[in-house]
Structure 1
Amino acid sequence: MSAPARPTDGEPRFRDTLRRLPATVWIVSLGVLVNRIGNFLPVFMVLYLTGRGFSPAAAGLVLGAAGLGNVAGNTVGGYLADRIGRRWTIVASMAAAAGLTAAVPFLASLPALVALAGLAGAAAQLYRPAAAALLVDATGSDQQRLAAFAVHRFAMNIGAALGGVLGGVLATVSYVGLFLGNAAACLLFGLIALVLLRDVPVTGAPEGHDPAGTRAGYREALADRRLRRFLLMTLLAEFIYIQSTVGLPLHVEAAGLTPADFGLLMGLNGVLVVLLELPITSAVSRRRPERVLALGNLLTGAGLALTGWAGDMGWLAATVLLWTLGEMLYAAMAGAYLGGLAPPAMGGRYQGLYGAAITLGTGVGPLLGGAVYAYRDWALWAVCAVGGLWSAQLCLPRRRRTT
C-alpha cells in the first residue's frame, strides 16, 4: 500500500484539529454513541435464545445468520451511500434495524428467527459505510480526517462500554425491554441523522486519483491494487484480533484461572482503549500512516502470540497491554487512511468493502481459531505471530523492481 502524504510541520496540533472539526463529525459520532449504547442484540442473543429453550447449536445458527447479514449490509450500505447519499442511507438503516429488532421477541420458530437475524444484521450495518464516508467528505487534510475517525472510535468505545452495562440491567428485568430498547436507540440515531445531518458536497479528488464518473462500482473499486492489499490486511488483522475472545478465554481456562480473571483482562483492554486511544492517536498523527498501521499489526500479533507462553495473571496482563497498544495504533488510522485512497465518487463503496472485510474477519475468526486451538493450542499462537507479520508487511509499500 502507498500512503497519503505525511503531514507537514506547519499543520496545527492534533488537539487543535480536534477542536476545529466540522459539526458533521460530532453529529455522526453522537449518533454512533447512541446506537452503540443500545446495541444489545449481539451480546445477549445467545442468553436470550437458550433461556427460551433453544439449543446452543440453534443459537449459533442465529448468530451465524446475523454475521452473514453484517457482511451483506456493509456491501449494500456502501452502494447506497454513493447512490442515494450518506444521510438517507443512515436513516433507512436505522429505521429498518429498529423494526426488525423489535420483532425478535415476538417470533417463536427457529427458521423465522434465523431469517429475521440475517435481515436485522444487514439493516444494522447499512449505516456504517455511509457514516465513515461522511466523515471523509466533511474533512480536508490527512490530520483532520484522522482526528475525525479518532472521535468516531472514541464514541463507539464509550457506547459499547455503557451499552454492556445497560444491557445487563435490562436483561435481568425483561428481554422484551432489551430488544425494544435496542430498537429505540436505532430510531434515535435515525432521527438525529434526519434532523441534524446533511450530506456534504464532494468536489475534487485526492491528488493522484481520477475522479471517475458515478458509473463506477465494486468491480472498479476492486481493480485498485492498494485497496485489495488493504482489504487482505484487514481480514488478517481482524482474524488475529478476534482471538482475544476465542483463544484467550480458552487459554485462561487451561491455565487454571477463572472466568472472572478473563473478565478482568478484557476490562483492562476496555479501560486502556477509552483512556489512551485518543492520546496515542495524537502522538502518531504526524507519522507515516503505513508505518503506524504496520506497527499496530505487529504488536497485535505479537501480543496474542505471546499469550500461549503466559501462565499467570501478571504475564497475561502484559500481553493484553501489548495487543491493546496495537489495537489503538491501528483502529482510527485504518479508517482515515482508507479515506485518503478512495476516489470521491466511490467513498461509500470503499468503506463498504472495508466494513465487509472487518465483519468477515471477526465472523470467520472464532470458527477457524477455535478449530486450530482444538487441534493444537500452540498452533493458534503461531498463526497469530505469522498473521501479524503478514498483515504488517501488507501495510508497507511494495518495493519497485529494479532492472
Structure 2
Amino acid sequence: MTTLRAVPKAVRLLCCGIFFNAVVSFTFIYLFVWLTGPRGLTVAQAGLISGIGGVGLVAGNFTGGWFGDVYGHRRALLAGAALSGSALCVVALLPTAALYVVLPLAQYAAGVVRAATSALIAVGVPEGARRQGFAVMRFASNAGFTIGPPLGALAAARFSYDWLFVADGVGTLLFAAYAARVLPGRGAGRPAVPRATGGPGLAAELKARPAVLVLLAAIVCVDLVYRQQYCTLPVFLGDHGFDARAYGWLLAINGGVILCLELPAAHALRRHAPLPVIGAGLVLVGLGYAALVPGASPGAAVALMVSLTLGEILYKTTATAYVADQAPAHAQGRFQSLYAGASISGQVLAPPLGGALYAAAPGLLWPLCAGLAVLAGVVVLGAGRLPGRGPAADTGPSLETGSPRRAAAG
C-alpha cells in the first residue's frame, strides 16, 4: 500500500488499463500455432511472419517516444492503441499475403503504445518515486499476463483461434477508450517542449550521460540472455526428458515470485543507488543460467528460474526508472524509447542466435549466457564512476504531456 500511495492517482488508473490490456494481449503467444495450424502455413512461412512482426515491435518501441516528445505521449498512446486494435480485429479475415504487412503494422503500433506508456509513467510520477511507479506498472502487466494465456487457450478451444485476434483487437480499442478518459487531456497534443527550443539533440544528451549508454548496451546483452528462457530453454529441457508441464511450472514460478516480491522490493530499495541494484540484478541473471552448466535436473531448473526472476525484479524496474530520472524533459519519450527498445531486443535476437549456437555447440550456450550477463552486470556496477549529469531535476512535463510542472509537486 505504501508503494501505491507514492504513485499519483492518474498513473494508478492507467495501470488498471494496462492490466486489462495485458489480459487480452494473448495473440502473440498463439500466433505461431495459428499460422501453422488453422492458416496452414509452413513453419518457414510462420517463422518469417513472426520474425517480421518482432522487428515491427522493436521498431515501435524505439520510435514511439519520439512521437510522444513531439505530439504528446497521451496522443501517441491513443493513436498506437487505435491502430493496433483495428488491425488485430481484421487479421483473421485477411489473405496470407496481407499478413506480411498487417501483423508487423499491428506489432509496430503495439511497440509505440509500450514506449508511450513508459513515458507517461516517467512524466506522471515525481522523481524519487519512479521506481515505485514502474513497479506498479510491471505488477499490473505481469498480473494480466498471468491471467491472459489460460483465458486465450479456453477461448481457442471453445471457439477458434480466429476469435483470439478479435478479442485482442476489441480489448485494445477499449483500452484506448479507457485511457482517453482517465488520462488528463489538457495540452495532450502539444510537445512537452517546443521543438525550436527543445535543447540539445538526443545524441548530445546521451553523450553527456555515458552511464546511460553503458546501461543500454548492457540491457541489450542481458535481454539476449534473458529471453533464452522462451526459445532454447524449453528445447534444452525437452532434450533432457522434461515435458511441457515442467516448463509451464517453471514459468509459473517466475510469475508468482514477481507478483509477490516486485512491489515490496521496489519500496525497500527505493533509497539505494540505482546502478548497483541494476548490476546485481544482471549478475543474478547470469548466475541463474550458470546453474544449467553442469546439466539438466529439477533442482538446476528451479535454481535457474529463481535466480533469473530475482535478477529481473532488481534490474527491470530500477533500470527503467534510472533512464527516466536521467532524461531531460524535452527528450523523456526518446530516452524511454531507447530503453524500451533495448529491453525487448532479445525478442528478435535471442531465437536465431541462441538457436544457432545450441544447434552447433549445445554445451557452450549456457556458459556463454552466464558469462555475458555477469560481464554486463560488472560493467554496470562500474558505470557509476563515469562522468555525466545527474538526473533531470526540477521541471518536466506533467501527465497531461504538455504542461511543465515541478517534479516535487507530485
Q: TM-score, normalization: structure 1?
A: 0.88
Which whole-Å deviations, capped at 9, do the CAs of 1:306-326 have from their partners, x for residues lacking one?
223243212321221111111
Match of 2:164 in 1: 178
Match of 2:408 in 1: none
Match of 2:270 in 1: 285
Summarize the alignment of residues 342-353 of structure 1 with structure 2, pairs less than 5 Å apart.
342-353=327-338
Q: Are 1:97 and 2:93 matched, yes or no?
A: no
Match of 1:60 in 2: 47
Aligned-residue offset at 1:284: 2.0
**In 1: Cα distance, 2:42 partner to 2:132 partner:** 45
* SS class of match (1:126): helix
Summarize the alignment of residues 150-161 of structure 1 with structure 2, pairs less than 5 Å apart.
150-161=135-146
Match of 1:333 in 2: 318
Q: Are 1:267 and 2:236 matched, yes or no?
A: no
Partners of 1:85 and 1:199 within 8 A in 2: no
> In the alignment, residue 213 of structure 1 is paired with which amino acid?
T
Aligned-residue offset at 1:200: 8.6
1:389 to 365, 374, 381: 374
> In the alignment, residue 148 of structure 2 is paired with which amino acid?
G
Summarize the alignment of residues 27-46 of structure 1 with structure 2, pairs less than 5 Å apart.
27-46=13-32
Partners of 2:226 and 2:346 within 8 A in 1: no
**In 1: Cα distance, 2:251 partner to 2:63 partner:** 32
Of stretches 329-338 and 216-225 in structure 1, the one that deviates more from structure 2 is 216-225
**In 2: Cα distance, 1:274 partner to 1:97 partner:** 27
Which whole-Å deviations, capped at 9, do the CAs of 1:89-139 have from their partners, x for residues lacking one?
111011000111112101122x31111111111011111222111112122
**In 2: Cα distance, 1:118 partner to 1:218 partner:** 27
Match of 2:113 in 1: 127
Q: Are 1:233 and 2:240 matched, yes or no?
A: no
Distance 1:148 1:106, change over 3 A: same
* SS class of match (2:293): helix
> In the alignment, residue 345 of structure 2 is paired with which amino acid?
L
**In 1: Cα distance, 2:100 partner to 2:80 partner:** 19
* SS class of match (2:291): helix
Distance 1:375 1:212, change over 3 A: farther
1:375 to 355, 360, 372: 360
Q: Structure 1: any 5+ residue segments left out of the alignment?
A: 1-14, 203-210
Of stretches 322-331 and 222-231 in structure 1, the one that deviates more from structure 2 is 222-231
Partners of 1:24 and 1:135 within 8 A in 2: no
**In 1: Cα distance, 2:42 partner to 2:12 partner:** 42
Match of 2:197 in 1: 213
Distance 1:215 1:174, change over 3 A: farther
Q: CA RMSD in A?
A: 2.1
Distance 1:332 1:50, change over 3 A: same
Match of 1:47 in 2: 33
Distance 1:232 1:400, change over 3 A: closer
> In the alignment, residue 16 of structure 1 is paired with which amino acid?
T
Of stretches 28-37 and 309-318 in structure 1, the one that deviates more from structure 2 is 309-318
**In 1: Cα distance, 2:303 partner to 2:171 partner:** 36
**In 2: Cα distance, 1:301 partner to 1:199 partner:** 43
Aligned-residue offset at 1:220: 3.9
Partners of 1:216 and 1:346 within 8 A in 2: no
Which whole-Å deviations, capped at 9, do the CAs of 1:216-236 have from their partners, x for residues lacking one?
554445434233212101101
- Identical residues among aligned pairs (%): 33
**In 2: Cα distance, 1:352 partner to 1:398 partner:** 22
**In 2: Cα distance, 1:386 partner to 1:200 partner:** 49
Q: TM-score, normalization: structure 2?
A: 0.87
* SS class of match (2:256): helix
Distance 1:338 1:263, change over 3 A: same
> In the alignment, residue 28 of structure 2 is paired with which amino acid?
P
**In 1: Cα distance, 2:205 partner to 2:31 partner:** 35
Partners of 2:22 and 2:148 within 8 A in 1: yes
Of stretches 193-202 and 296-305 in structure 1, the one that deviates more from structure 2 is 193-202
Across the two proteins, how many residue pairs are aligned to each other? 377
Partners of 1:302 and 1:384 within 8 A in 2: no
Partners of 1:74 and 1:128 within 8 A in 2: yes
Match of 2:348 in 1: 363
> In the alignment, residue 188 of structure 1 is paired with which amino acid?
L
Which whole-Å deviations, capped at 9, do the CAs of 1:230-272 have from their partners, x for residues lacking one?
2101101211110112232122122222122111111211111
Q: Structure 2: any 5+ residue segments left out of the alignment?
A: 189-194, 388-410
Partners of 1:149 and 1:336 within 8 A in 2: yes
